[in-house]
Amino acid sequence: MCGRYASARKKHELLEEFQVELDGEPDKELGADFNVAPTKNVYAVMSRSSKEDEHPVRQLRIVRWGLVPVWAKDPSIGSRLINARAETLAEKPSFRQAFAKRRCLIPADGYFEWMAVEGEKKKQPYFIHPADGGVLAMAGLYEFWKDRARDDDDPLKWLVTCTVITTDAEDQLGRIHDRMPMMIERDRWADWLDPGLTDTERASRLLVPAEAGRLAAYPVSTDVNNVRNNGPDLIKPLPDEEEAGLF
């Protein structure tokens, strides 16, 4: 699973990187977060049509991590739906509607996974990131949830949430954890975000696991274990492992 990641790029960098046409939250900007955890607000790239224009517009939105299905009685279910397995997207009631109509990209600098240390009870955290230093475009789904207890003019009536799609880890990363976020390469962004693509079989063919060597990993401080800790030190390699830990 993917339960923590880092997202430190500024909004204007993401708008340019993802060729966003509309800043959906022009008056808001998330600060650099090196320890993104479930239920936090995160950036998501999506394409949506408006009432005025049927042409889908690529936009950057702020959503909450942890998908809340439209049928949920309350939003607490989101904390249990932070990940969605690529193998069962079209089958699971929690995800199948969003998979057909509401796919997104979740930008990250990298993500964290923990590996058991032989002979010890503790686990060693690793930071896993694109080897070329580029942005990690994680495949995601988003959903709108309506709080029926609130008035129609209440700005909190609608909650927008997301989940990160996961897949089997490629061989080198599999030694750390058997699952990893599904990446969407740049040449598939437009198709993945296209709301007109509602055929889930075709959408599934866009989910291609990362090639071996596309990502690199190194061990980092256990400070990342505590969600209250934050800052760039969390993604620094351990002093004696800076070179040897990369692969």
3-state secondary structure of 163: strand
CB 14 within 8 A of CB 50: no
- Residue 3: closest CA among 90, 81, 95: 81
Specify whether 201 is catalytic.
no
The Cα 172–Cα 170 span in angstroms is 6
SS3 per residue for 24-64: CCCCCCCCCEEEECCCCEEEEEEEECCCCCCCCEEEEEEEE
Specify whether 113 is catalytic.
yes
Q: First vs last Cα of the chain: how many Å apart?
A: 20
The amino acid that residue 221 corresponds to is: S
CB 41 within 8 A of CB 29: no
The Cα 182–Cα 195 span in angstroms is 19
Q: Which of 25, 87, 91, 113 is catalytic?
A: 113
Q: Which of 2, 104, 143, 162 is catalytic?
A: 2
CA distances from 63 to 158, 175, 211, 225, 234 (A): 11, 32, 29, 23, 24
Greatest alpha-carbon span in the chain = 62
Q: How many residues does the chain have?
A: 247
Residues tagged active-site? 2, 113
